[in-house]
Amino acid sequence: MNGYRRPARLRRVQLSVPGSSEKMLAKAAASGADHVFCDLEDAVAPNAKVGARDLIAQALNGLDWGKTTRCVRVNDVTTQWCHDDIISLVEKAGRNIDTIMLTKPRTAADVMFLHHMIHQLEQKLSLERPIGIEVLIEEVQALQNVEEIASCSDRLECLIFGMGDYSASQGIDTRAIGEGGTYPGDIFHYARFRVTMAARAVGIDAVDGPLGNFKNRESYVSQAIQARSLGMAGKWAIHPSQIPWALEVFTPSAETIARARKLEAAYRDAEAMGLGAAQVDGMMIDAVTVRMVRNTLEKADLAGI
C-alpha cells in the first residue's frame, strides 16, 4: 500500500476497443464515453498483441481524449504477455494512463502482481500521477475470493462482472442464459449481487460486463437497469451504439434529482425543528431516506448535473 487516493471517476459506460485497430482507437477517443479501455486481451489476436501495444501507446499519447478515463486492459498473469503489456504501456504512455484493467485474476495475489509492477514502474519513470487498477471478476475462483480481491490494493478502483468468461469458467450451459433461457430466474443475479457487495463494502465501483448483441437496445437497457438496481455504477459497451443507452440508464434524470433534493431539504428542515422523521407527499422520510437520496445526488455531482 502506498497511500494511493482513489479519484472519483464516472463509469456509467466503459467502452471496449480492440488495441489492434488504429481506426477504432480514434473513434473511441472521440466517442464521449466516460471510460475507454484499450484492449490487449481477447479483442486482439495472439499475432497482433505485440503490435497493438504500440498502437495503443500512440493513441494514448497522440489523441485528444477529452474527459474520458483512459484505461488499458492487459492479458492475464498466466500468459506470456502480461508483464510485457504492463511494462511496455507504462514505459511508453504512463503519463496518459489513468487505470490498468486486469483480466481473469483468480486470487488477490494475481492483482498484487499488477500492483507491484505499477509501483516499480512509477518509481523508475518518476511518474507523478498514480495509475489505478480495475479487475474483472470472470473466474469462479475470483468470485469465491472476491472480498479478498476487492480489498487487496488501495489502487483498486473497480470490479467488473464478466459474464462470458465467468460462464465458461463455471461450465454454465449457454442455453440457460438470457430471456427465455432454461434457468428459472436470472442466472447471473447471485454473481452480480456478490460482486457489487464486495465493491461497495470497500467503497469502490462495480460495473456490469458486456452484451454482445449491439443492435438489441431492449436487452441492453434491461440488463443495465438490473445492474443499476443492484448499485452498480455502469455497464460495458462493445460498440458505440451502446454508449447512449448506458448513459440514459446510469445518469439520474432531472426529475429524480429534483425529487432527491426536495426530500433532502425536507429532512433538513425537520431536523432543524428537532424532528427525526417527517412526511413529504404522504411518504415518511428520515435519516435513511437521506442516505439513499445522497447516492443519487453524488451521481449527479459526479456527472456535473
Q: Which amino acid is at 296?
A: T
Which positions ≥6 away from 63 have C-beta within 8 Å?
25, 26, 29, 30
Q: Does 19 bind Mg ion (CB under 5 A)?
A: no
Q: Does 165 bind Mg ion (CB under 5 A)?
A: yes
Instruction: Provide the strand spans (E) within the chain.
Output: 13-18, 35-39, 69-74, 99-102, 132-137, 156-161, 205-208, 234-237, 278-280, 283-285
Q: Does 291 bind ligand COA (CB under 6 A)?
A: no
Q: Does 17 bind ligand COA (CB under 6 A)?
A: yes
Q: Which does 205 bind (CB under 5 to 8 A by kind): Mg ion, ligand COA, none?
A: none
* Total chain residues near ligand COA (CB under 6 A): 15
Alpha-carbon distance 19 to 58, whole Å? 11
CA atoms within 13 A on the CB side of 215: 0
Closer of 26 and 280 to ligand COA (Cβ): 26
Closer of 185 and 212 to Mg ion (Cβ): 212
Interacting stretch for ligand COA, rule CB under 6 A, among 19-27, 86-94, 116-124, 289-297? 19-27
Least distance to ligand COA, CB of residue 238, Å: 4
Q: What share of the chain is helix, strand, coil (3-state, %, to 5)?
A: 50, 15, 35
Using the rule CB under 6 A, which residue among 10, 43, 86, 263 binds ligand COA?
43
Q: Which does 165 bind (CB under 5 to 8 A by kind): Mg ion, ligand COA, none?
A: Mg ion
Q: How many CB atoms lie within 10 A of CB 169?
A: 17
Q: How many residues does the chain have?
A: 305
Q: Does 160 bind ligand COA (CB under 6 A)?
A: no
**Interface with ligand COA by CB under 6 A: which residues?**
15-18, 23-24, 27-28, 39, 42-43, 210, 238-240
| Interacting residue ranges for Mg ion, rule: CB under 5 A | 138, 162, 165
